[in-house]
Chain A
């Protein structure tokens, strides 16, 4: 009986809303550490096959030559009152995988770019990517032991960031620190999206 069945599924527990947040940054910047510190469980790993649709499209008409790349991603989850489930995905660190980020970034609430002041240039590609794509992001300066402490304004200047992009200090190993970064990100995303008329209206700059 059809309606009997839909009755049953209406009585089912409502699905929580799943939310995706990306944790980006250069190799060794502390992405997996942060995912692990704030998640309920140890980081999980999944392999995803992603398609390279934007590279090498010049002269392959009629040829089914899509490049695919398999990337391994570490991720974790935070459940909020059975209502929301936050999934944190560490983006693959290798720069040659830049093209796969677009698939990962689709539908993401925002991103955390982890910066290591000893090799700040490593986070340039992440910053560029999220700026171009219009994904709200915050820069979190991971305080490594022994690294010189820079003023946040120096970091902002070095990265050429828009004044609206939050730059915060963090310790990727600490749960509370990671939580603060995420709260900063969600607040920033709320402000950014509130200002934006609609996602496709983002100027390409």
Chain B
């Protein structure tokens, strides 16, 4: 099976096909990112101001870069763009490939042994 690269036929462009097909068109049929794991709470930030016309970047890539002027989690990017997290991961992989973004991974559970960390979170919650 070769993924269809050409323009989609008209009969697929109805309302019913839209929500299902659209994410896969954006990722050109890919379901896995080329790089990176991207946890739902991995924080993403753009490395430079968005260039309006970058070759090879789609409108969704540019939207992500605009959203990520400040650190934003994968889950929030997905929610704000109303796309499945899996689709966002593929797009983020493209951006990471080209150094448009930096990704800060969450701490693994084993790193949660530090009492200072817990105390800081408790104090923070109290002061809200």
Q: Which residues of A contact B (CB under 8 A)?
A: 9, 12-13, 15-20, 44-49, 70, 73, 75, 77-78, 80-81, 83-87, 89, 106-109, 179, 182-183, 186-187, 189-190, 193-194, 198-199
Contact = CB atoms under 8 A, between A and B. Distances in A.
Nearest to A110: B112
Contacts of B108: 107
Contact of B109 (A44, A75, A107, A179): A107
Contacts of B79: 44-46, 75
Contact of B43 (A16, A49, A80): A16
Interface in B30-74: 39-43, 45, 47, 71, 73
Contacts of A80: 120-121, 124-125, 128
Given A9-B47, A89-B40, A183-B126, 5 more contacts: A19-B121, A73-B75, A106-B109, A179-B128, A189-B118
Contact of B40 (A12, A46, A186): A46
Given A49-B84, A86-B121, A107-B106, A15 B40 contact: no
Contacts of A86: 121, 125
Nearest to B77: A46
A199 B108 CA distance: 11
Contacts of B107: 17, 19, 107
Contacts of A108: 109
14 contacts: A15-B102, A15-B104, A16-B43, A19-B106, A45-B79, A46-B40, A47-B85, A75-B79, A107-B108, A109-B112, A186-B118, A189-B118, A193-B112, A198-B110
A50 B42 CA distance: 17
Nearest to B102: A9
Given A80-B124, A84-B121, A183-B122, A44 B76 contact: yes
Contacts of B43: 15-16, 18, 85
B79 to A, nearest CB: 4
Given A20-B106, A81-B124, A183-B126, A48 B86 contact: yes
A178 B111 CA distance: 26
B86 to A, nearest CB: 5
